[in-house]
Structure 1
Amino acid sequence: MSTADLGLPVDVPSTALFTDRYELTMLQAALRSGAAHRRSVFETFTRRLPEGRRYGVVAGTGRVLDAVENFRFDGAVLDFLARESVVDDPTLEWLAGYRFTGDIWGYPEGEVYFPGSPVLRVEGSFAEAVVLETVILSILNHDSAIAAAASRMAVAAGDRPLMDMGARRTHELAAVAASRAAYIGGFRSSSNLAAGFRYGLPTIGTSAHAFTLVHDTERDAFTAQVESLGRGTTLLVDTYDVATAVRTAVEVAGPELGSVRIDSGDLLLLAHRVRQQLDDLGARQTKIVVTSDLDEYAIASLASAPVDAYGVGTALVTGSGNPTCSMVYKLVARAASDAPDAPLVPVAKKAVGGKTSVGGRKWAARRLDEEGVAEAEVIGTGEIPPELRDRLLQVPLVHKGEITGREPLAAARDRHVQSRALLPLSATQLSQGDPVLPVETR
């Protein structure tokens, strides 16, 4: 896979420098002490969901697998590390041959999660696992935040399609990742052509206000667009007077006009007025698309309006106020010695201030009640109870360094719909509340 497929600048040959310096300085010291080669288990989890959220959504797993596969220290990267005196020569020599050879398990992409859920588990030597911390967290924290916001918006929208229009509201590479995550969360299309190219997402887009303004009249603009794109196009009707624009749009395109877009004003009131006007003009099949700084609350407020689709920008790509999931990557177990068959010993940070973690390699399962509705997230380090063995959440993603967990993006999207459907109905409430499932530890 090329760097372009990862959404990287063409002059970045690998993902190896998507890391923090202290990971490499830890590596150097661990190589010197001998601890670098100890078998270790790292887990990614969050201690809490964003305020008021009922569930989280795992997204970015596919991008993590790509990043792990492309985590290589080539000549240019090694020269940089040497020039900046980041690590010593023995460490540079070790990095030159780096390739992850361990195992990775995790919640499949699109699955929901809760506080403490071990959404990703990385097993290998301390050296090869510790350097992956930042790249894994940067992907999962960003993509899962976007997917969770998208999921809430999809719930609010119901059967009405959602379109990602956030590319101009975030970093250019983040915009591509956001489009992918939004698709997993329930969006149907994106305005971002790079996302369409890299991930096969359906793309949408017609014109902005500048197109209308550059023409002498609104009629001239509509005529040019219809002649170029056909009667099924979407005409933007709020550059000047909405009612006049709608009338002109139907006169130019006829009742076959595909859609009109409203991007400002009182959307609830305008949607009703425009629907009535379109019907009176005989354009009963013409759809109404609304944009203008929408979030899940604004979308929910338009549930009774005659709106056919929503375009969402800023709120989507910023996680609707929660741009990160606050996931962490913690060492939870290590071998008792350097011996290949040494048993694993649970380890965990013990500190004041709520930043403690639970040691031991964990399994996770979701228990259902008699009606098939999820009632608890069960996490344990010991033997798995027989009644939960068919409800385990973690799946193999990497085995001995080989990627095993790749899947079509549509599979993650479908999985999220199915996973969310098993949650209690209160999961879909937009009001403030606690996580919809309790987390039990065994």
Structure 2
Amino acid sequence: MERASRGFREGLRRELPAWRTEGLVSEETARALAVRYDLARAEPGGPSFLAVYVLGALLVGAGVVSLVAWHWEAMSAGAKLGTLGAAMAAAHLAGFVLWKGTGRSPRLGHALTVLGTLVFGASIGLVAQIFHVSGAWWGAFGAFTLGALAAAFLYDSLPHLILAAVAGLWLFGPGLADDHGLRGIALGYAGAAAVAGLAWRARSRALLVVGAIGVALTLASALDALHADAAIVPMIAALGAALAAAALVVRDPARLPLSAAARLLGRLAFYGAAYFLSFHEVASHLRLEHGVTRDVALGVVPLLAAAGAALASGLRRDDVDPLARGEAMLLAATVVAVVAGLSLEAGRGAVLVANLALAFLAIGRIVRGLSWLARGPFWEGMAVAGVLVASRFLEIETRLWLKGAAFIACGVLVLVAGVAFERRRAHREEVDHALA
């Protein structure tokens, strides 16, 4: 069977009968396409079906846990261990048989293995309670991360990878970083490299998003523990630049959706950081009073180095989208300028740079939307521009009626631009339909 996405096969399965009826393809061609893409094979349930199975397994597991908890205190230590081990083994064994063994119900089997891994995580805390073992709260999530990773590689399972990313970078990482700042920094960057490689291997946008959020949480906790909390916002901006630049190194067409997700996630992270710094009070509060210290550099420089390496790779390629390359260059350069601006008195330089960067990004997205007649970039740029203009108007000390008039004018401008854009799109669609 030719490798193709589930969506492509479903669309082809719907359209092929109409093409055959209209004479667009012959009977022989239709049969060849059906064989090539294995259209006779029923599609298994998609991710939404897996989510339903996982939810159902979790509810059943919660019910069993409630029944066990009813008699938990009366059970001996051996009985408690036996119950936990039996529950975990039963879930994994049943899941393996249904998924990898007989293959009769792979989605249900997959969900049961996830349930078994969650039972393993709960067992870590319960075993510590049984034997009165104490320690840092985040240590249990570190052990759970290792178990989830082992299950992910054993089963080749994306849900297990996401569980490991949440446990490792959302819980274990910030906990470790709060107590050991430098170790948290190291874990954050190690986690970033691991998530990048695993998301690339699995072609998973969900894992990329979950992992990127976890890296930001871990690094932010580490910077706070090192008393370099002023570097948290620049770090998030640098992470956005690294994500946007990472999209430039993608060559495999099958991973272009992952590249697009990295660009979007990078822009969103940068929007948030730059918007915070666009307010004078915030920038003044986050000013780097002692300049770029070691801790500040640890939180920002490695991410900027990763962005620079990806940019250098993208500059040598002719097949890279010029706008994507320009956006990544703008984001990386802005992070450098922002850090320099926060080192100046009152952080005014950072405020100016953040406002200009947001304005340039908004204009670039609007231009992309107009040139491609694509709603996504056009309305993204309009939204960023609208929020930026509204925020600056609110900051201006002037009469209320003048602010009201300015908001009305901006609203009318957005409506006029939106109507003109939609009319242009409709006209292009009519021309394309007539030419077809």
Q: Give your verdict on TM over 0.5.
A: no
Kindly name which structure, 1 or 2, has the bigger radius of gyration based on alpha carbons.
Answer: 2
Bigger fraction of residues in strand: 1
Bigger relative CO (Cα 8 Å, ≥ 6 apart): 1
TM-score bucket (shorter structure): under 0.3
Give TM-score scaled by structure 1 length: 0.22
